[in-house]
């Protein structure tokens, strides 16, 4: 009945699996028949503190009893507190604008860059360089910023001004007098869980600074401790001009943030969001940061990442006939599969054995588990994945 209702009334933009999950506990989900599934996806990197987190759910319930939403016409206490936390924990001298999603965060970043280019005198600078295989969102502008040609079907005409570099090495060659910004993911998520070379990124950041070209880092997936530090840019030792944040910050509640060192770039009315940064989403963000910062400081986060990585490497070694190599950083990881045609089969078999995994790029099996995942859940997940791989033979 649920499947029929979904197919009849919901637009068919997703290839659904019709498993009806009822509740969850940390990295374990339970369906309507009380079967348990190990979640190595976290809702595509969103459920950072796990399903059914008591601290988060209690805070949300308490806030919902008082105020869920007013508007940004008035000051919102948890929003101000969350902005302060993000700035202080990152170590970047920035201000924050709150939105509802990763796409909105990258849109905000693009608007900041374009205004900076407008205000810099003649000629006006508007070009933004991104990387091929990048992914920056599904709105018209963020979709055009995405460097995957297949994503540009159907929805044109698109805004002008986006240029795609094949890799980090090519970026400087594409910079000209109309270039205002470069936007990169330090680990490409949808593009195949591919980390950028740290030294090359640091060199690029220095070059851009010398040329007065803004560096935008899309941290929608890499941010909020996913790669081991608050932001991947902290891990890479660079200071971006603009950062786009979303996914894991709300622990499942929609929230997006643009952070920028250009503190006075917007005037009243230049940008806005009805729902952005409301009480519910920023209460969630504050609690998530509190939980994960404590995990980082007491060493549990690094311990979990190391344990997961060891399991990943061991699994890849056992199945080197199927897995070419492991990729990624922290708990944003993947297997590069030798035969891309096997990828869909592996994901389907994994689901049959009650472990959730993802696809990235053409040939990458992607892992984005909750950052709070336990060693026991990791062990069970890989045991089930082992059974799924056996079924391939």
List CB contacts of 172: < 8 A, sequence separation 6 or more: 204, 207
CA 362 to chain centre: 19
Please name which of 258, 201, 254, 249 lies closest in space to residue 226, comparing C-alpha atoms: 249
Q: Name the strands in the sheet holding 28-31, side by side, starting at the edge strand that comes first in the sequence.
A: 21-25, 28-31, 36-39, 355-356
Compute the chain's Rg from CA coordinates. Answer: 21
What is the DSSP code (8-state) at residue 252?
A: T
What is the DSSP code (8-state) at residue 249?
A: G
Give the integer Cα–Cα distance in Å for 200 and 191. Answer: 19
In the numeric block, the tokens 């992914």 are attached to 135
Give the integer Cα–Cα distance in Å for 120 and 92. Answer: 23
What local confidence, expressed as pLDDT, does residue 340 receive? 85
Where does 67-297 sit in CATH, by number?
A: 3.40.640.10
CA 117 to chain centre: 27
Every domain of the chain and the residues it spans: 2-52+299-390, 67-297
Where does 2-52+299-390 sit in CATH, by number?
A: 3.90.1150.10
Q: What is the pTM of this model?
A: 0.96
What local confidence, expressed as pLDDT, does residue 123 receive? 82
> Quick one: 11 exposed, middle or buried, by C-beta within 10 A (0-12, 13-18, 19+)?
exposed
User: How many CB atoms are located within 10 Å of the residue 59 CB?
Assistant: 20
What local confidence, expressed as pLDDT, does residue 151 receive? 86
Q: Please check whether residue 312 is in contact with residue 326, taking contact to mean a CB–CB distance below 8 angstroms.
A: yes
Give the integer Cα–Cα distance in Å for 295 and 300. Answer: 5
DSSP state string for 331-374: TEEEEEESSGGGHHHHHHHHHHTTEE-EEETTTEEEE---TT--
Give the integer Cα–Cα distance in Å for 19 and 32. Answer: 8
Give the integer Cα–Cα distance in Å for 48 and 33. Answer: 25
What local confidence, expressed as pLDDT, does residue 216 receive? 98
Give 9's Cβ-side CA count (13 Å radius): 6
What local confidence, expressed as pLDDT, does residue 393 receive? 67
Residues pairing with 367 in the sheet = 333
List, run by run, the mean pLDDT of 10-residue segments along the chain (393 residues). Answer: 94 92 98 97 98 98 97 97 98 98 98 93 90 94 93 90 96 96 95 94 98 98 98 98 98 98 95 97 98 98 98 96 96 94 93 96 95 98 96 78
């Amino acid at each position: 009945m649920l499947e029929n209702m979904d197919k009849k009334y919901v637009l068919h933009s997703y290839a659904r699996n019709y498993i009806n999950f009822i509740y969850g506990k940390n990295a374990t989900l339970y369906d309507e028949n009380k079967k348990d599934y190990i979640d190595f996806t976290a809702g595509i990197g969103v459920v950072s503190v796990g399903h059914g987190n008591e601290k988060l759910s209690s805070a949300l319930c308490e806030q919902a009893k008082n105020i869920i939403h007013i508007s940004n016409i008035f000051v919102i206490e948890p929003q101000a507190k969350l902005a302060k936390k993000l700035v202080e924990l990152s170590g970047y001298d920035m201000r924050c604008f709150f939105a509802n999603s990763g796409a909105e965060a990258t849109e905000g970043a693009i608007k900041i860059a374009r205004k900076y280019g407008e205000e810099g005198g003649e000629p006006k600078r508007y070009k933004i360089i991104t990387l091929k295989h990048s992914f920056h969102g599904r709105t018209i502008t963020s979709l055009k910023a995405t460097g995957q040609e297949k994503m540009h079907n159907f929805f044109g005409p698109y805004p002008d001004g986006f240029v795609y570099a094949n890799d980090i090495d090519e970026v400087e060659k594409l910079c000209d007098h109309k270039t205002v910004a470069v936007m990169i993911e330090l680990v490409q998520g949808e593009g195949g869980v591919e980390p950028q070379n740290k030294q090359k990124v640091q060199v690029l950041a220095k070059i851009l600074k010398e040329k007065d070209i803004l560096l935008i880092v899309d941290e929608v997936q890499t941010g909020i401790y996913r790669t081991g530090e608050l932001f991947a840019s902290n891990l890479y030792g660079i200071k971006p001009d603009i950062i786009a944040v979303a996914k894991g910050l709300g622990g499942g509640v929609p929230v997006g943030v643009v952070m920028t060192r250009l503190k006075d770039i917007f005037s009243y009315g230049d940008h806005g969001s009805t729902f952005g940064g409301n009480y519910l989403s920023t209460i969630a963000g504050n609690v998530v940061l509190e939980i994960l910062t404590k995990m980082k400081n007491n060493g549990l986060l690094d311990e979990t990442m190391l344990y997961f990585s060891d399991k990943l490497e061991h699994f890849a070694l056992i199945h080197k006939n199927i897995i070419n190599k492991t990729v990624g950083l922290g708990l944003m990881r993947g297997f590069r599969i030798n035969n891309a045609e096997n990828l869909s089969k592996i994901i389907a078999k994994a689901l049959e054995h009650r472990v959730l995994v993802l696809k990235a790029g053409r040939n990458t099996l992607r892992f984005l588990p909750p950052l709070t995942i336990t060693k026991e859940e990791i062990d069970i997940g890989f045991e089930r994945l082992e059974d799924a791989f056996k079924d391939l033979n």
